[in-house]
Structure formats: C-alpha cells, structure tokens
Structure 1
Amino acid sequence: MQETRLDTARIRAARRVIDPVFLDSPLYRCEALEAALGCGVSIKLETANPVRSFKGRGTEVVTSLLADGGPRAVVCASAGNLGQALAWSGRGRGLDVTVVASRFAPAAKLDRIRALDARLELVDGDFDMARERAAAIARRDGVRLVEDSLDVETCEGAATIGLELVDASFDAVLIALGGGAMATGVGHVVKALVPGVEVICVQPLGAPAMTRSWRRRRVVTTASTDTVADGVAGRRPIPAVLDDLLLVADDAVLVREASIIAGVRLLFEHAGLVVEPSAALGVAAILEDRERFAGRHVVTIVCGGNVDLDAHRGWVTG
C-alpha cells in the first residue's frame, strides 16, 4: 500500500493516551438485522461512550498533546459531535474550548456542547461557514485550531477502531463518509493489516462532495447540501484527506434519504439502537444494493447517537 499521512505505529500508540472509556467498543453479530438485510452483519457500536460518537478517540489524542505543552486554548468547527468530544476531552485536561457550529445543527448536540462547559458560537450558515469562522477566531486570538480530518491526530484516533476490527472475520467494512477522519483512519488500518477486506465509504446523495471527489480523483465542491445526515454534510473536501482516501477506499457510494431513514428505523427495530442518520449510512448502502452484499459478512460502524428524539420518533414511526 502507498503511504498515507497516517502511521500504524502512531495509531497503536494512540491507544495509550485515549481514555479507555472510548476504546474496545462493542463488536457483535446482529442476527435480527441480518434477517432484514439478507447478509451477515456485525455492528461496531461507537455510541456507547460519554459523547455518543467515535469523535472522542481523536480529540483524546489532540488534547493529550496540548496538555503536554501546547496551547491551553483550542477552537474547532463542528456539526455537533466533534464539538462535544473536544469539550469533553478538553475539560478533562484543563483546556479552554470554543466550538463554532451552525445554529441549524440539532439542538441536542448544541445543548450537550454547552453542558460540557465549552464556549459555543453559532453561525447563520452550514458547517463550512462554521469552519471559516473557527479559523478566523484562531487567527485573531492566537489559539490552536483543531481541524477534523485535516489534523492527522483526529484520523489516527479514529483509526484505533480499525485495530479493534482486524481480528474479526468479515468481507467488507461500511464507513460513513463526511470529512474523512474515520474513513481514512479505519481504511488505513484495514488495508495495512487485512488488505483483502473491502473498504466501502458511504455518503448521502444530498451531500456528495467527498464521494464525487474520490470518483474524479480531484477535489469537487458543491454549492449546498441537503440531507438529514447532518454529521456528514460538508461541501468542501480537504485535499490532503482526499489524497489519503484515494489510497485506502475501494469504493465510495451515495445513498438516498429514504434509505438513510429506513436504516435508522431498522437499527431501532432490529438492534434496539437509537442512532443519528449518519450512523445508518452503512445499513442504507446494503438496502440499496442487496445483491452486492448477499452471502457476505459486513461490518457497519454505528458512529453516532446524538439525535433529536422528536425527529427520531418520526423516522421510526413514519
């Protein structure tokens, strides 16, 4: 495999600085879900931790480095989950954390950021506008800007998920694709240690920028996004992250909104899981191409559970 920005030795070392509460998340076969999807399905459950998403793995790595002598103040842009994770990790290490988010982000995510003692600034736009504002704050105040997916620590923290997968027996792993930290991180480990496993990234049709970029092998931006999966709704891929993705992803697919909502419903009905739409992308991919996965054993990473409960109620009963 050609080299990405990631390093397998550093990824192994990351496990030593990540709070164990984020490590060794459940991985199990879900027979009830298999019956509904027509293939072997294992769930890697990244919601069973204090921030209900995989993002805590990466923020633990970032803040551990800052606590060892870096800036004591940090700022990030977030669709909601990174902000919670950075607030949690920063609070534990005595860092001053500012999170910039869209005021249209799910209220449950914004409320949780506030509850974790971070300073929250809202913008009247989407995630990419929040990213611009966070960069401006960092320049103005001289604080550390944490950039999800661009900062290799966020990718290598997410990559520890891959270390927990490689001893299992499966044919493919389905990974939600947004900024790319989880896809490049897990993809790097899988391709380095079990190269025969297919790495499939999944993105909403309404937020296709990274998938289009992967297909064309160059950065493709979009003017807007329109998806219920707010956690992966970016418009402008980061070139360095795309370069990594091109080396580790075997495929990148787009799925419809109806399939994402059906995935949320199936995970609730057959696995008893309350998940945000981004976490259901893997299930949506199976629903849209049952023939591709028939007779195979796939792992889907359930990456987040920070969801508006009223919206979730509508999805599972609608």
Structure 2
Amino acid sequence: MTLVSVRCCVVLNTRLDLDRICAARRVIDPVFLDTPLFRCEALGRALGCAVSIKLETANPVRSFKARGTEVVADRLSGQGRRAVVCASAGNLGWALGWSGRRHDLDVTVVASRRAPAAKLDRIRASGAVLEVVDGDFDLARERAADIARRRGVRLVEDSLDIETCEGAATIGLELVRQAPPLDAVLIALGGGAMATGVGYVLKALAPGAEMICVQPHGAPAMTRSWQERRVVTTDSTDTIADGVAGRRPIPVVLDDLLAVADDAVLVEEASIVAGMRMLLQHAGLVVEPSAALGVAAVLEDPDRFAGRHVVTVICGSNVDLDDYHRWVRPDPLR
C-alpha cells in the first residue's frame, strides 16, 4: 500500500498521531492488513443508498482487534516484556492471544462468564490463560487490573492504550485509499478504539466524510457521553451486542471521540437483528451483533443516507451459532 501523503491542515487535539499510525502498518502482520472492501449492490438496493462493506473478519481472529494487539505485542517484545493481561468481551482476548504467541508473550485474559461460549473457547485455543468472572465486562476490567498489579505485568486496556487505537486507525488509512469518495462511515462504538482511530484518520485525510458512531440503546454509555460532552456511566447493559456493552467510558478516550466523531446514534435491538439478517441475505456474511450496527443505523434513518455512499465496517464475526440462528430466523424477538 502506498501511504497517503496528503495532510489536512486541521489541527486535531487528540492523543493520536498520523505518523505513528502509518508506522503501525509496518509491525502488524500483513494477514490483518488490506482487508476486503467492496460495493454491495444488493444491500444498497435494500437500504436505498450505495453501501460499501469493509470486511474486518477476513483474518485469523475474525475481528479488527488484532490490528491493535499486534502493535501492543511488538512494543512489549521490543521492551523485553514477557507477560501481559487484559480484560475482554471476547475478541480482544483472542487477538491478544494470537499476537502474544507470535511475540512469545504469556497472555492472561479475564472475561465475563456471560461472554459467548464460542469467544471463550477461541481465547483458550489461542494459548492464552483464561480467567472467567461472574459479572459483566467492567468487573472483568477490575479483575485484570488487580492481576496486573499483583504480578507486575503489563495491563492492556483496549481504547485507553493508544496502541489499540492507532492499530485500529490503520483501517482508516485503507478506507481513504480504497473507497473515495466517502460520504459517511458507520462505526460500531464500544470502548472507542476503532471509532477514535478511524475517525482521526478520516478527519486528517478525508474531512468531507461524515464519521458516525453507532451503539445499542441497551448499552448507551459512550453515546450519551458524546452527546453530553462528559462521562456518563450506566448501572447495567441489556443488548445482544456484547462486543460494545461497556458501562464506564474512559475520559481520555471520550476526549478523543469528541474531537473526531460527527455524530453518535443509538439503535434498537430489532434493528440490529434485522441488520444481521440483511448482511446474511444480501452479502452472504455471518456476523456478530456489533458488526450489524451500521446497517441498523441506516434502517432506522433511511432518509439521512438516501443517495449517499455509505461505508460500514464489519468488525467481527465471532458469534455463537445457536444464538445466531435463533436471532436471524423470522421474528426472532417475538
């Protein structure tokens, strides 16, 4: 890939840096780079706009997360570190296990017992040590931090650690090269690594593209925080989109998001399920709920996107197949 050389004169007040993002491509295993991006005409006809799909599941860990863990693992290996721990809803843990094995790191992953069994099985299969806690992702974060303190090892915190954001930002470099002109890019919003990373690159190199974050009504903390320009926490989450189900936004990540996102919207569970079904029917893709958030956003506000070129990032396909079949069959929520 020839890196984009045109720079926008807009000064972005964030933690991210375009030169570091470009450098990240040199340490990420090529198997995770230059993922397919294609215009899906059948999906576009169904949604009433031109739709391009950026397929971040066509890699060994079936999600975008390894772009960040590759940067983390390379840096730790260069520092002579040999152990690392993280909390994960599933995808980060598998990705860190994969990158850790490549860089000879001992990886411990803490996950919620509520995480899909398929994701937990894949973390174990990666060679990572898996610790399961009763409670949600935020409780897993607390446990991982405790392990890091007691063992004196590096704690990887998705979205807080800048490597995870700048690794994810390499998606943005590819979008700018592969998909012009871009009218809108729809990004699943969880902790914020992908949203801040891709958003930063778009604002720097393709400022005419609208960067829209999408989150479920059942897990709205980051979206509410963006809307109110302050950290808003929630007591619980209630969504099938487990990959974005956080309750406690990280303040510095919110600051970055405020600088790069044009909008943040919430969608209903029924729209997420409909989006999963449409991606299967029109694009032949089996995706996890978080990956259908972009399609859900178009379904709920079609007039906003009519006649525009929309890119949706398919961020993960690690889904329990029993759950998936139950969701995508006709009228699954009745």
Q: TM-score, normalised by structure 2?
A: 0.95
The 5 Å alignment of 1:200-211 reads 200-211=212-223
SS in 2 for 1:165: helix
Q: Give the aligned partner of residue 95 of structure 2.
A: 85
CA distance in 2, matches of 1:219, 1:269: 38
CA distance in 1, matches of 2:259, 2:66: 25
CA distance in 1, matches of 2:306, 2:163: 36
Q: Give the aligned partner of residue 147 of structure 2.
A: 137
Q: Give the aligned partner of residue 34 of structure 2.
A: 24
CA distance in 2, matches of 1:267, 1:310: 18
Q: Give the aligned partner of residue 77 of structure 2.
A: 67
CA distance in 2, matches of 1:193, 1:235: 32
Q: Give the aligned partner of residue 276 of structure 2.
A: 264
SS in 2 for 1:222: coil
Shift of 1:313: 0.9
CA distance in 2, matches of 1:96, 1:140: 15
Q: Render the CA deviation track for 1:145-190: whole Å, top value 9, x for unaligned.
A: 0000000000000000000001222200000000000000000000
CA distance in 2, matches of 1:171, 1:189: 15
Q: Give the aligned partner of residue 279 of structure 1.
A: 291
2:262 counterpart of 1:250: yes
SS in 2 for 1:128: helix
Q: Render the CA deviation track for 1:15-43: whole Å, top value 9, x for unaligned.
A: 00000000000000000101110100000
SS in 2 for 1:166: helix
Q: Give the aligned partner of residue 306 of structure 1.
A: 318
Q: 1:12 aligns with which of 16, 22, 25?
A: 22
SS in 1 for 2:101: helix
SS in 2 for 1:164: helix
Q: 1:113 aligns with which of 117, 123, 128?
A: 123
Q: Give the aligned partner of residue 3 of structure 2.
A: none
The 5 Å alignment of 1:109-258 reads 109-167=119-177, 168=179, 169-258=181-270
- Is the contact between residue 185 and residue 310 of structure 2 (CA under 8 Å) also seen in structure 1? yes
Q: Which runs of 4+ in 1 moved over 4 A?
A: none
Question: What amino acid sits opposite 2:151 in the alignment?
Answer: D
Unmatched 5+ residue regions in structure 1? none
SS in 2 for 1:301: strand
CA distance in 1, matches of 2:247, 2:218: 10
Unmatched 5+ residue regions in structure 2? 1-10
Shift of 1:244: 0.1
- Is the contact between residue 273 and residue 289 of structure 2 (CA under 8 Å) also seen in structure 1? yes
SS in 2 for 1:306: coil
Shift of 1:71: 2.0
SS in 1 for 2:94: helix
- Is the contact between residue 159 and residue 191 of structure 2 (CA under 8 Å) also seen in structure 1? yes
CA distance in 2, matches of 1:220, 1:3: 21
The CA RMSD measured in Å over matched residues stands at: 0.6
CA distance in 2, matches of 1:191, 1:155: 15
2:280 counterpart of 1:288: no
CA distance in 2, matches of 1:124, 1:146: 21
Question: What amino acid sits opposite 2:89 in the alignment?
Answer: A
CA distance in 1, matches of 2:305, 2:88: 33
Q: Give the aligned partner of residue 35 of structure 1.
A: 45
Q: Render the CA deviation track for 1:106-132: whole Å, top value 9, x for unaligned.
A: 000000000011000001000000000
- Is the contact between residue 182 and residue 208 of structure 2 (CA under 8 Å) also seen in structure 1? no
